A and B are shown apart, each in its own frame.
Chain A
Amino acid sequence: MSLLEVKDLAVSFVTRMGTNKAVDGISFTVDTGKITAIIGESGSGKSVACYSMLGLVPMPPGRIDGGTALFEGQDLLQMSEAQLREIRGRDVAMIFQDPMTCLNPFMTIGKQLMEPLLYHQQVSKEQARARAIELLDEVGIRDPESTFENYPHQFSGGMRQRVMIAMALINEPKLLIADEPTTALDVTIQAQILKLIANLQTKRDIGVIFISHDLAVVADIADQIVVMQQGKIVEGGDSEHIFHHAEHPYTRKLLAAIPADSKAPMPNEPDTLIEVRKLCTWFDQGRNKEPVKAVNDVSFDIRRGEVLGLVGESGSGKSTIGRSILRLVPVTSGSVNFDGTDVTTLQGNGLKTFRRRMQMIFQDPFASLNPRMTVFDTLAEPLLLHGIENSKSVASGVLKLMDDVGLARNFVRKYPHEFSGGQRQRIAIGRALATRPEFIVADEPVSALDVTIQAQILDLMQDLGKEYGLTMLFVSHDLAVVRHLADRILVLYKGEIVEQGSGEDLFERPQQDYTRQLLSSIPGRALLE
Chain B
Amino acid sequence: MWRFIGIRLLQAIPVILAVITVTFFLVRVAPGGPFSAEKAVLPEVKAALEAQYRLDLPLFQQYTAYLGDLAQGEFGPSFKYPGRSVNELIGAGLPVTAELGFYALLVAVIIGGLAGVIAALKPNTRQDYIPMTVAMIGICMPSFLLGPLLVLIFGIYLDWLPVSGWGDIPGDKILPAITLGSAYAAYIARLSRAGMLEVMSQDYIRTARAKGLPEWQVVVKHGLRGGLIPVVTFLGPAFAGLLAGSFVVETIFQIPGLGRFYVQAAFNRDYTMILGTTVFLSTLIVLFNLLSDILAAWMNPRLRAQFGEQ
Contacts and interface: CB of A to CB of B under 8 A. Distances in A.
Contact of B211 (A98, A106, A115, A153): A115
B301 A89 contact: no
B210 A89 contact: yes
Interface stretch (B53-61, B80-88, B200-208, B273-281): B200-208
Contact of B302 (A101, A105, A116): A105
Nearest to B206: A56
Contact of A103 (B207, B213, B225, B305): B207
Given A86-B212, A88-B211, A94-B210, A105 B204 contact: yes
Contacts of B226: 105-106
A102 B204 contact: yes
Contact of B204 (A85, A103, A120): A103
Given A104-B222, A151-B301, A154-B305, A56 B209 contact: yes
A464 interface: no
B300 interface: yes
B170 interface: no
Contacts of B295: none
B299 interface: yes
A294 to B, nearest CB: 20
A94 B203 CA distance: 12
B302 to A, nearest CB: 5
Interface string B259-281: 00000000000000000000000
Nearest to A151: B301
B202 A89 contact: no
A228 to B, nearest CB: 21
17 contacts: A56-B210, A85-B213, A87-B212, A88-B212, A96-B207, A101-B202, A101-B203, A102-B203, A104-B204, A104-B207, A105-B226, A106-B299, A106-B300, A107-B225, A115-B221, A151-B302, A164-B207
A116 B222 contact: no
Interface in B198-249: 202-204, 206-214, 217, 221-222, 225-226
Given A87-B212, A104-B222, A167-B207, 17 more contacts: A56-B206, A56-B210, A88-B210, A94-B207, A101-B204, A102-B204, A105-B204, A105-B302, A106-B300, A115-B208, A115-B213, A116-B212, A119-B213, A151-B301, A151-B302, A151-B305, A154-B305
A98 B202 CA distance: 11
A273 interface: no
Interface string A56-82: 100000000000000000000000000
Interface string A308-332: 0000000000000000000000000
Nearest to B304: A151
A458 to B, nearest CB: 29
A93 interface: yes
Interface in B177-213: 202-204, 206-213
Contacts of A106: 225-226, 299-301
A120 B210 CA distance: 12
A79 B300 CA distance: 38
A366 to B, nearest CB: 16
B206 A102 contact: yes
Contacts of B209: 56, 88
A424 interface: no
A159 interface: no
A119 B302 contact: no
Contacts of A115: 208, 211, 213, 221
Contacts of B225: 106-107
A153 B206 contact: no
A54 interface: yes
Contacts of B302: 105, 151, 153
A46 interface: no
A96 B206 contact: yes
Contact of B203 (A85, A90, A96, A120): A96
A89 B211 contact: yes
B110 to A, nearest CB: 22
Nearest 7 pairs between A and B by C-beta?
A89-B212, A88-B212, A89-B211, A101-B203, A151-B301, A116-B211, A104-B204
Nearest to B310: A286
B222 to A, nearest CB: 5
Interface string A106-147: 110000000110011000000000000000000000000000
A225 to B, nearest CB: 24
Given A90-B212, A116-B212, A153 B305 contact: yes
Contacts of B208: 104, 115
Contacts of A103: 204, 207
Nearest to B303: A153
A119 to B, nearest CB: 6
B222 A107 contact: yes
Nearest to B209: A56
A94 B212 CA distance: 11
Contacts of A89: 210-213
A167 B213 CA distance: 13
A18 to B, nearest CB: 19
A119 B212 contact: yes
A93 B210 CA distance: 7
Contacts of A151: 301-302, 305
Nearest to A168: B210
A347 B179 CA distance: 61
A418 B77 CA distance: 67
A25 to B, nearest CB: 25
Contacts of A105: 204, 226, 300-302
A285 B146 CA distance: 55
Contacts of A86: 212
